[in-house]
Amino acid sequence: MKPRHTLSKGTSKRGKQGFEAKPERSQNPRPVKSAKSKAVQLFDPDPGVAYSIERTSQLAHVPRRRILVYCKRRLVSPIANPEIEGYWFDADALRTLKRIEELRAICDEPLAGVRVILGLMREVQRLRAELRGLEI
């Protein structure tokens, strides 16, 4: 039977280097740098830009196939005719995709329920805008 290890018992792979223990961490946490340097910048899509389905998928963190399902179920609409020009989305569609994903994560609703919730959210936004117009 062949020996398992080719090195003799007295030698190790490290040779004659000693074993170094990791230094213990102090109880005090490291000082935090200023909030400005670590601030997360949110992505706000430009209103006049059209995004391809691939770029929309990346920006919204939604798989391309799922975007196509949402289009088929009429939860989100491309800005152009997909049969002629392909799937292109604007800033509103990108925001809608993110809302759909948030609703699915929080509520675990089927897509029909998500459609109702999105409709209600749009109505609330419309009523708030109307109320702001009356206050001026």
Banded pLDDT at 78 (limits 50, 70, 90): very high
Q: Which residues of 104-130 are buried (b: 16+ CB within 10 A; e: fewer)?
A: beeeeeeeeebbeebeeeeeeeeeeee
Q: Is the pTM of this model over 0.85?
A: no
Quick one: tokens of 18? 């000693």
- At 108 the pLDDT is 77
The stretch 118-128 carries a mean pLDDT of 93
Domain ranges of the chain: 51-135
User: Which of 11-25, 50-64, 121-135 is predicted with the least confidence, judged by mean pLDDT?
Assistant: 11-25
Assigned CATH topology for domain 51-135? Multidrug-efflux Transporter Regulator; Chain: A; Domain 2 (1.10.1660)
pLDDT of 66 higher than 90: yes
Picking from 45, 20, 40, the residue whose alpha carbon sits closest to that of residue 97 is: 45
